[in-house]
Structure 1
Amino acid sequence: MIEKKFSFTLTDRKHIERILEDDNVAINHMVLPQGEGLPEHYSNSNVYMIVLRGHITLQLNDEEANSHPAGSILNIPYQTKMNVYNNHEEIAEIFVVKAPSPRKMK
């Protein structure tokens, strides 16, 4: 087989996993129940967030927080201060694609 297969976890509990990282891309998968989120951090590459279910709330730099529903694809520039969380009742699930890989951004 030429293709490489990668798997991700199907769950309704809080779960954060790295699916893959090579020189081209990093892909993470996250499931965030209501009230869960990530620590404040700065984007370490060009980030694309794909919202699969629920809503994700982003507060970027000093802007107001915005909620984004399932079906949204968000682009966040390199070195943007990020607060990511789920303050909705429904479970949020996202894929985070970083291109190029953060290890190429240093």
Structure 2
Amino acid sequence: MSEDTKPPVPYVRKKRGRPRKNGRPKLRKEPDRPSPSQRTGQRFKTITVNEETYYILKELSTFYKVSVGVYIYSLVLPAFDHAYQESITLQRIDANRKKAKDETPDTDDVPRRTHF
């Protein structure tokens, strides 16, 4: 063999799928990082809505040119105020009912009626 000729390279089958990128893989700072709603100290929670509701919210938010979160907040805030006022009313009714129950005499000698 002379220096010009090289030995034949054996055939290597290509792997299926997307080829890997060249270079060092990215390093993740936290390998088991939870979702944003599960992290401590975050101000977000995850809610689940069905697909139709999501598309309706998306269309309404694009119509009003606001984000979905802002639009949902504008719906939830008046509903919360209404429910809060109702809860105050129900609490007052319950307190009056307990007060009336405490004031009623619980004796057997009820005064007789004198006229009908």
TM-score when normalising by structure 1: 0.14
More helix by share: 2
TM-score when normalising by structure 2: 0.14
Larger radius of gyration: 2
